[in-house]
């Protein structure tokens, strides 16, 4: 800086700027790997050149603003050296490229900041002496602001993109349709929504259609609506605009857009609230809105759900990010496969993990692959990825966050049955018994792309409270996020605790103390096929929901279960290939508040064999269980063991041939659901003893040939569902005595072709019949007598979603 004292500071300033601009223009044409970033820097410098020329003429006295400009001159010199170094970086060196690209962007931001903010000091100090020249500079600065920082132009997409070609084609096809006015592009954070939109803006056909009328505006969570609208006005050359209110700003924007006759596309990036979107909906010809959001915002005509990358594209992106050259990598494929598995196709995760491992030794790769494959969270070592995913949770209120974190209680890659979540959330959060509030919460989580909900074999006309075949899946990274959020704080103070036991190795904290006190109200324990049922002792007196996931052939309930005095829900699931037997069920007899039990893929020889009474039990669900031996040679009556049971669900139990008489002695039973039990051939006559039964569901019991006449005594029955009972050829003769029957579901009863019983006319409360087209004809004469009756023809179900997965 010594020579600055000998020459006019303005001249030095101009020379430094000229040198930087010349170097940028030269290197841009040679360093192709930095071309987009350098072009942005070049555009910034060219926009500022008129201001620099004015500064050179104005600042002939070196005392003016000496300190303010010295630093910036030095910064421009360092910037020139940085740009020159870009020529020395080989195109194949992907490790250094992100570092230098980031430094170039920082240089661009520093230059912009100097001309937008620091120069205000110059104007204030020299205003009295050189007002005319300052005004010239001020006008140039306004022009620069208009043409750069506040311009609503989509950023250029990254240099390397993979796996988005199909999505680009599909999204563009919808955009070009005249009938689509609002398009919502949705996915979880890190899936590439903004990248896809930036690609769309660079598409020649899209640019040809919308010309200069593509407006790209980042919205985010906290963006003020007036700031967004002011930015749009600035982009269109309206600098001095005043708004009396938010409503006035919206009205003025609408009038401004109406003046543009050509097609207009407004892109709102990262929208958090539906209200933000709705305020930009104007009835203007040739006007469309494209929204990116982590929420789906149901109700709009077109929503495009982005999916994670497939295996091939994920591997390509990972190789690029980690600089693994084909054929030259010493990293074993098995380690790469493990890492890719945990990235789960998320582009952001793949790039972040790839860059973090770039240039690392084989030992580091192997260590990370081993660590993540043995249950260590991939998020704990990657703050950028964690921060991105955590932003998705800002959509959720406190209750929804709790529900989201509960999804981490189940094994990776497995279906989570909706009925299980309803049981858990009803007791944990006091939601309604029918599950409506739980489904509302689940829909909200699914809409925000934090889980995927699948509705299986259900027509739109199906009654709302049947969720027996519905399930939820969750991306592995989102499951990791749920577990990570649940794992904050001391173990003994956490609200929910997820314990994963692999290769028979218990967590260190568990073995350190003989009596480990826990305050969690949700406890999930998952074990693999190596587990030997050797439990350490813990004190979990606050647990309300216990989820046990295992894979062994024989499983023993932990002895500490009998200490869970507040336990309300027990979920036991075998994820092995074959049904497994569970022992120690007598421990449950001492639990005073246990209300709900769900058992999945178990062989059950124990019901009513051990003297115990579970007086608080309200609901028991058996899914894919072997229960043929459960009620034989019982030493205890079912009604004595479960005296207050109100709800029984038996689903996919293939060895259930006949319903035991003992079940018909349960006086308080209100709901009996037996579904997909294909060998069930008959119901006992004693079923008529269930005087309080309100719902009888017998869906897809294909061998069931008839309903017993004793069903006429079910005077409180409101819903009767025999959908897909292929062998039933007639309804009971005295079905008309079901005086409170409101719904009758006959979809798929293909043999039911005879005339309906005369007593059907007595079903004065019947409001809804769901059947196929052939069965609907049988009801035509009836509708004249039952004036409140609605007959709905169910659409044919061709979905195979209901088929079990690997375990279900």
Q: Using one digit for the tens of pLDDT, what is the confidence trace for 505-546?
A: 878 777 776 567 888 999 999 988 888 877 777 888 899 999
pLDDT one-digit tens code per residue, 562-598? 889 999 999 999 988 777 888 888 888 889 999 999 9
Same domain, 124 and 192: no
Q: Are 304 and 185 in contact (CB under 8 A)?
A: yes
Nearest to 201 by CA among 269, 114, 255, 251: 269
Confidence at 351, pLDDT banded by 50, 70, 90: confident
Let me know whether 28 and 118 are in one domain: yes
Cβ-proximal residues to 453 (8 Å cutoff; 6+ apart), any chain: 418, 442, 443, 446, 470, 471, 472
Query: pLDDT at residue 85 above 50?
Result: yes
| Averaged pLDDT of the chain | 80
Of the candidate ranges 116-130, 147-161, 511-525, 618-632, the one whose mean pLDDT is the lowest: 116-130
Higher per-residue pLDDT: 23 or 743: 743
161-170, 207-216, 653-662: range with lowest mean pLDDT: 653-662
Same-domain pairing of 749 and 684: yes
pLDDT digits over 37-46, tens only?
777 777 778 7
Last-in-domain residue among 246, 278, 305? 305
Report pLDDT for 808: 42
In a domain? residue 540: no
Query: What is the C-alpha separation between 288 and 193, in angstroms, rounded?
Result: 18
pLDDT at 54 over 80: no
Are the beta carbons of 34 and 101 closer than 8 angstroms?
yes
Range 14-27 average pLDDT? 82
> Mean pLDDT throughout 620-632?
81
Mean pLDDT value across residues 622-641: 75
In a domain, 561, yes or no: no
Domain check: are 672 and 808 in the same one?
A: yes
Strand order in the sheet with 214-220: 214-220, 264-271, 287-293, 182-186, 302-305
Highest mean pLDDT of the ranges 54-68, 175-189, 219-233: 175-189
Q: What's the average model confidence in pLDDT over 684-702?
A: 93
Q: What was the pLDDT predicted at 694?
A: 95
Q: How many other CB atoms sit within 10 Å of the CB of residue 245? A: 9
Residue 578: exposed, middle, or buried by beta-carbon count in 10 A (0-12, 13-18, 19+)?
exposed
Q: Number of structural domains, the chain?
A: 5
The pLDDT, as a whole number, for residue 374 is 64
Question: Looking at residue 448, which CATH number applies to its domain?
Answer: 1.10.10
Compare 530 and 697 and report the one with higher pLDDT: 697
Instruction: Considering only residues 681 and 295, tell me which one the structure prediction assigns the higher pLDDT.
Output: 681
> Is 640 inside a domain boundary?
no
Considering 290, 305, 320, which residue would you say is the last residue of a domain? 305
For residues 287 and 321, state if they share a domain: no
CB 100 within 8 A of CB 129: no
The yes-or-no verdict on residue 156 having pLDDT over 50 is: yes
CATH number of the domain at 191, please: 3.40.50.300
Same domain, 706 and 797: yes
Write down the pLDDT at residue 6: 39
Is residue 596 one of the residues assigned to a domain? no
CATH code (residue 347): 1.10.8
- pTM of the complete model: 0.68
- The mean pLDDT value for 390-417 works out to 87
pLDDT higher than 50, residue 253 = yes
What was the pLDDT predicted at 145? 41
pLDDT exceeding 70 applies to what percent of the chain?
82
Q: Are residues 296 and 272 in the same domain?
A: yes
- Give me the pLDDT at residue 107, please: 79
* Inter-residue contact 790 to 770 (CB < 8 Å): no
pLDDT at 144: 42
Give pLDDT tens digits for 699-757.
Answer: 999 999 999 999 999 999 999 999 999 999 999 999 999 999 999 999 989 898 778 99
Euclidean distance between CA atoms 507 and 70, whole angstroms: 60
Q: Is 803 within the bounds of a domain?
A: yes
In a domain, 158, yes or no: no
Domain closes at, from 325, 354, 385: 385
Q: Is residue 457 located within the same domain as residue 325? A: no
Are the C-beta atoms of residues 277 and 289 closer than 8 Å to each other?
Answer: yes
- DSSP helix/strand/coil, 390: helix
Question: Is the same domain home to 805 and 660?
Answer: yes
pLDDT for the residue 607: 60
Q: Is the pLDDT of residue 650 over 80?
A: yes
- Examine residue 499 and state whether it is found in any structural domain, yes or no: no
Q: Is residue 165 classed as helix, strand or coil in its secondary structure?
A: helix
Claim to verify: residue 671 and residue 788 sit in the same structural domain: yes
> Are 325 and 298 in a shared domain?
no
Q: How confident is the model at residue 633, as a pLDDT?
A: 56
Cα 577 to Cα 508, 580, 623, distances in angstroms: 30, 9, 14
CB 75 within 8 A of CB 139: no
**Is 62 domain-assigned?**
yes
**Alpha-carbon torsion, ordered 9, 11, 13, 18, to 10 deg:** -170
What percentage of the chain exceeds 90 in pLDDT? 25
Same domain (yes/no): 351, 432 = no
21 has a pLDDT exceeding 80:
yes
The per-residue b/e assignment along 180-207, b for 16 or more CB within 10 angstroms, e otherwise, is: bbbbbbbbbbbbbbbbbbbbbbeeeebe
Is residue 186's pLDDT more than 50?
yes
Q: Which domain holds residue 90?
A: 2-147
């Amino acid at each position: 800086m010594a020579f600055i004292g000998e020459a006019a500071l303005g001249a030095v300033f101009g020379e430094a700027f000229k040198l930087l601009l010349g170097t940028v223009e030269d290197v841009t044409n040679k360093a192709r790997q930095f071309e987009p970033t350098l072009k942005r820097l070049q555009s910034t410098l060219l926009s500022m050149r008129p201001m620099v020329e004015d500064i050179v003429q104005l600042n002939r006295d070196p005392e003016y603003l000496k300190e303010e400009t010295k630093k910036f001159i030095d910064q421009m010199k360092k910037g020139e050296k940085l740009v020159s170094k870009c020529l020395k970086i080989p195109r194949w060196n992907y490790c250094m490229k992100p570092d230098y690209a980031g430094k170039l962007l920082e240089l661009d931001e520093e230059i912009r900041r100097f001309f937008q903010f620091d120069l205000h000091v110059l104007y204030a100090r020299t205003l009295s002496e050189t007002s005319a020249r300052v005004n010239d500079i001020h006008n140039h600065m306004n022009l620069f602001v208009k043409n750069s920082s506040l311009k609503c132009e989509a950023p250029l997409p990254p240099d390397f993109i993979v796996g988005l070609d199909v999505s680009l084609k599909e999204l563009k096809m919808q955009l070009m349709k005249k009938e689509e006015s609002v398009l919502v592009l949705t996915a979880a954070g890190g899936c590439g929504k903004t990248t896809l939109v930036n690609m769309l803006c660079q598409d020649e056909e899209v640019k040809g259609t919308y010309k200069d009328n593509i407006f790209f505006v980042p919205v985010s969570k906290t963006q003020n609506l007036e700031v967004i609208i002011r930015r749009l006005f600035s982009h269109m050359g309206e600098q001095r605009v005043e708004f009396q209110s938010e409503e006035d700003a919206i009205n003025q924007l609408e009038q401004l857009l109406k003046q543009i006759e050509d097609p207009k596309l407004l892109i709102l990036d990262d929208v958090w609230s539906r209200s933000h979107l709705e305020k930009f909906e104007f009835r203007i010809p040739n006007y469309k809105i494209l929204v990116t959001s982590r929420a789906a915002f149901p109700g709009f005509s077109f929503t495009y759900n982005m999916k994670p990358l497939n295996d091939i594209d994920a591997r390509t992106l990972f190789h690029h990010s980690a600089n693994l050259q084909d054929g030259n990598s010493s990293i074993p494929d098995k380690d790469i496969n493990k890492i890719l598995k945990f990235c789960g196709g998320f582009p952001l995760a793949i790039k972040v993990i790839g860059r973090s491992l770039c240039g690392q030794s084989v030992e580091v790769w192997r260590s990370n692959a081993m660590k993540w494959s043995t249950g260590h969270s991939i998020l704990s070592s990657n703050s950028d990825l964690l921060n991105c995913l955590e932003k998705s949770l800002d959509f959720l209120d406190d209750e929804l966050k709790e529900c989201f974190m509960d999804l981490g209680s189940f094994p990776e890659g497995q279906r989570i049955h909706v009925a299980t979540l309803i049981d858990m959330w009803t007791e944990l959060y006091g939601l309604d018994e029918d599950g409506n509030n739980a489904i509302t919460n689940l829909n909200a989580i699914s809409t925000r792309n934090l889980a995927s909900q699948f509705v299986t074999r259900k027509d739109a006309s199906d009654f709302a409270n049947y969720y027996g075949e519905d399930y939820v899946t969750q991306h592995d990274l989102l499951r990791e996020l749920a577990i990570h959020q649940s794992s904050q704080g001391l173990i003994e103070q956490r609200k929910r605790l997820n314990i994963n036991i692999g290769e028979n190795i218990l967590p260190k904290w568990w073995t350190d103390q003989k009596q480990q006190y826990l305050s969690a109200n949700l406890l999930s324990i998952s074990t693999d096929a190596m587990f030997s049922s050797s439990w350490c002792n813990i004190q979990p007196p606050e647990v309300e929901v216990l989820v046990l996931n295992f894979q062994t052939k024989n499983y023993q309930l932990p002895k500490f279960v009998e200490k869970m005095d507040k336990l309300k829900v027990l979920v036991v699931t075998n994820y092995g290939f074959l049904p497994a037997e569970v022992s120690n069920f007598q421990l449950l007899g001492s639990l005073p508040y246990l209300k709900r039990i769900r058992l999945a893929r178990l062989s059950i020889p124990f019901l009513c064999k051990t003297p115990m009474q579970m007086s608080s039990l309200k609901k028991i669900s058996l899914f894919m269980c072997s229960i043929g031996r459960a009620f034989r040679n019982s030493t205890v009556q079912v009604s004595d063991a479960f005296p207050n049971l109100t709800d029984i669900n038996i689903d996919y139990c293939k060895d259930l041939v006949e319903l035991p008489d003992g079940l018909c002695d349960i006086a308080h039973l209100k709901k009996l659901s037996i579904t997909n039990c294909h060998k069930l051939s008959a119901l006992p006559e004693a079923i008529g003893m269930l005087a309080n039964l309100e719902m009888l569901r017998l869906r897809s019991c294909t061998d069931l040939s008839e309903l017993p006449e004793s069903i006429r005594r079910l005077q409180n029955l409101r819903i009767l569902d025999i959908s897909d009972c292929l062998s039933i050829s007639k309804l009971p003769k005295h079905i008309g005595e079901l005086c409170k029957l409101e719904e009758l579901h006959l979809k798929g009863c293909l043999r039911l072709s005879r005339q309906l019983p005369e007593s059907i006319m007595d079903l004065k409360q019947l409001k809804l019949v769901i059947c196929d087209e052939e069965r609907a004809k049988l009801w035509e004469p009836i509708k004249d007598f039952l004036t409140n009756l609605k007959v709905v023809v169910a659409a044919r179900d061709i979905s195979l979603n209901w088929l079990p997965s690997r375990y279900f």
